Amino acid sequence: MPPALPPAAKGTPSLPGPPQPAVPVHHRPLSLNGADAIAAYRNAWNPLTSGPDLMPQADTLPEGEFNVRFFMYGRFTQAQYSDSGGITGLPPGYSQTQLLDLFAMFYGLDLNTELVFLPSVITTFSTQGGTSLNGAGLNDLSFGIKHRWIIQDPFTGRPSFTTAFLVTLPTTSWLGTPVPVGGLPPINVVPSTHFGTPAFTGIAMLRKNMKPLRLIGDLYYTLSIPGTISATAGDAPVFSQFGDLVQYRIGIEDVVDDKRGLGFILEIAGLSGLPFSVDGLPVNTHPSSFNLMGVQPTIEYNLTPRLAASFGVLFPAFGNNEYLATTPNFSLWYYFQGGQDHLLPR
């Protein structure tokens, strides 16, 4: 009996045709953010997890998908940084604790465009010079739009690149929310804007998935609109020009269990007040500039197939001309399914 033919030689010989590629078809050069790029991205490794607590994500939701992420940020002020970066005690009679509840809402407008709506409630417990400021109310309202210009390529080192533009309305001033006028929310919050001051924020974001890691980086630039504010109730309004604000975020996420969304994240957050403003007006607030930096370990876990949770603590690392504070935070992220037949994480 003759030897059996190898599988490739059995049956009718195949007709001549173009050679088959030895690598996946998506390894060919992809468009920046077209249908081929989104198809490759959605078929690559990208488990649903909570993700970093301190930064938005560059990739956008699928068209028609809506989700809400609840954040609780705390700030426990412990000391203050000097101009040179040294640490000193708080001024006599000064204390401040803040809690901020943020309801971040996102809606996929199309494959690469997302609407952002960021209402929040802030609670303040503080004393300064024997005067107490306690209470809660609506925080300044930020909203805007973001667009993904480049979709990450699973077969190369190309990351996703997205820009966003946010507008902040001074609702604390309009509604009389008890906050230190001209002060800042916890460093965890983005965008960071001075209480009671309208502002515009431009954002650039990067994100790259490399199983089992995700790398994330964000940069924010905020212009505060000058205007008249009263430091305390009853004081005469004073024209105030704040310096522009720069925020930056760097994070690395290690997904330990894809199915359960278990992962660990290391995040670095920074906030700097610049001694100038792009509107050309001289800064007349004190301090005219400052810096803050913190480091946060975060743990994440999916409570259900649609509900992801995370918890972390931002520890102070460096600063000058600002208060030193420890800022714990917690988040719950719920994914509503859009028009697609199954849930797609961003």
Q: Is the distance from CB of 272 to CB of 246 less than 8 angstroms?
A: yes
Tokens representing 97? 């604790």
Looking up tokens 């024209």 gives 239
Q: How many CA atoms lie within 13 A of 101 on its CB side?
A: 5
Q: Which domains, and CATH codes, for the chain?
A: 28-336 (2.40.128.130)
* Cβ–Cβ < 8 Å for 221, 246: yes
pTM of the model: 0.87
Q: Which two tokens stand for residue 65?
A: 């998908």
Coil, strand or helix: which one is 147? strand
Copy the structure tokens of residue 189.
Answer: 């919050």
pLDDT at 153: 96
Strand (E) or helix (H) holding 77: strand 66-81
Gap between the Cα atoms of 114 and 342, Å rounded = 19
Along the chain (346 residues), what's the average pLDDT of each consecutive run of 10 residues?
A: 43 40 59 94 91 79 88 94 94 92 93 95 89 92 96 95 97 91 86 93 96 96 86 67 95 95 96 95 92 96 93 96 94 75 64
pLDDT value, residue 70:
93
Structure confidence at residue 7 (pLDDT) = 44
Compute the chain's Rg from CA coordinates: 24
Q: Which residues contact 20 (CB under 8 A, 6 or more apart)?
A: none
- Residue 264, strand partner residues: 254, 299
CA 104 from centre of chain: 10
Reported as type and span, the H/E element at residue 38 is: helix 35-42
Tokens 């699928």 sit at which residue? 62
b/e code 1-33 from CB counts within 10 Å (16+ = b): eeeeeeeeeeeeeeeeeeeeeeeeebeeebeeb
143: helix, strand or coil: strand
DSSP string, 247-311: EEEEEEEEEEETTTTEEEEEEEEEEEE-S--TT-PPP-SSSS-EEEEEEEEEEEEESSSSEEEEE
CB atoms within 10 A of CB 213: 12
